[in-house]
Amino acid sequence: MTMRVSMISLAALCAASALAQPGILTKELLIQYTPDWKGERFADGRPKIPDGILKRMKSVTLEEAWAQLRSAGFNHEYEDGWYTIHPDKVLIGRALTAQWVPGRPDIQKVIEEQGKKDGRIGGENAWPVDMLQPGDVYV
């Protein structure tokens, strides 16, 4: 049975991380970590995959996506053991990846102060949600 691509290829090719701790990657770091991307970017530096490509990805099979990833040198962007909860739907989008690490009281104060300077609201666990744009998938 051929599976449809969920978000694997876009997540692997153009994922940007929103680190909850010690902080969110700066625009400069996002650009530095995605040097091969030559297209449009969001204001925060994340690659902005065109909506047309996202729509076309809905018809790509998992095997086709993996062939492209492997040919581009992405050999470790896979996590097994997921359950399909909506087998009739395809999840496609620009991946916004949040990485969570254990909190430390000595760093927490610095993170909160930086968040205030950056104009962030709420706790840092909500900051990646605030970064989401139409067409994004929160990973």
112: nearest Cα among 100, 97, 130, 127: 127
Is 21 or 81 the better-scoring residue by pLDDT? Answer: 81
**What single DSSP character describes residue 36?**
T
Mean pLDDT of the 111-124 span: 86
Asked if residue 3 has pLDDT above 70, the reply is no
Which tokens is 69 given?
């990833």
- Tell me the residue type at 37: W
Q: What pLDDT band is residue 20 in, cutting at 50, 70 and 90?
A: very low
Condensed to tens digits (0 to 9), the pLDDT of residues 50-95 reads 999 999 999 998 889 889 999 999 988 777 788 888 888 888 999 8
- Indicate the SS3 state at residue 19: strand
Cα–Cα distance list, 67 to 26, 62, 117 (Å): 32, 9, 44
pLDDT higher at 16 or 36: 36
Other CB atoms within a 10 A radius of the CB of residue 110 amount to 13
Looking at residue 100, its pLDDT comes to: 76
The model carries a pTM of 0.66
Residue 133 · residue 50 · CB < 8 Å? no
Asked whether the beta carbons of 2 and 62 are under 8 A apart, the reply is: yes
